[in-house]
Structures are given as C-alpha cells and as structure tokens.
Amino acid sequence: MFGTIARYRVKPGHEKQLMEEMGSFESDPPEGWMYHTAFRSTKDPNEIWLSVVFESEEAYRKNADSPDMDREYKRMLEHLQGEPEWHDGQVIHEAMRQPAKS
C-alpha cells in the first residue's frame, strides 16, 4: 500500500465546502483508492491533515497524474490559504479495530 499525508491550511469559513468536495471523491473513488482520514488540529482549527491510502504506488501515481485529479486539486485550492504540504510514502503498518458484530 502507498499513500500520502497532506497538511492543508484552510481559509476561514471554507472547511464545510472542502469536506463536501472530499465527500464527492468517496462516492466515485479512483481505481486503487482504499480510504482516507481527515483530522482537524486542536491548536489551529484552520489546519487539516489528510491521510490517503491506495492499493499501490502505481495506483496512487496514476490518480495523482490524472486530468480528473488535476481538476479536483484546482477546486480544492479555492478553499486553501496556499499549496498543501505532501508527504508520500509506503504504508508499513496499519491496525484498525473492526466494529463488534451484533
């Protein structure tokens, strides 16, 4: 698995729109996308960190280089105070608790 951790500086009042646009990504995910998680900083409510995981580096790069993602990225920038920081890498460990079955 491969992914990125991004740091976004959101324009004040734009968090809701940004999160709604991310939601549209979930309804029609690109090939190889597994999941993403968004965090809001406790020290700065306009700072959001996003982790995104794909099945492989190839799937990640294919999505990152696609015209669709370029359009999404340009729309996302309308809600940010500048370019995000990107930290790409191999997923070397993950652990998730599954909900208890009823």
34-58 pLDDT per residue, tens = 999 999 999 999 999 999 999 999 9
Domains in the chain: ranges and CATH: 2-90 (3.30.70.100)
Q: How far apart are CA 80 and CA 77, in angstroms?
A: 5
Reported pTM: 0.85
| C-beta of residue 80 within 8 angstroms of C-beta of residue 8 | yes
Q: Pick the residue with more confidence: 15 or 96?
A: 15
User: What pLDDT is attached to residue 102?
Assistant: 64
Calculate Rg over the CA atoms of the chain: 14
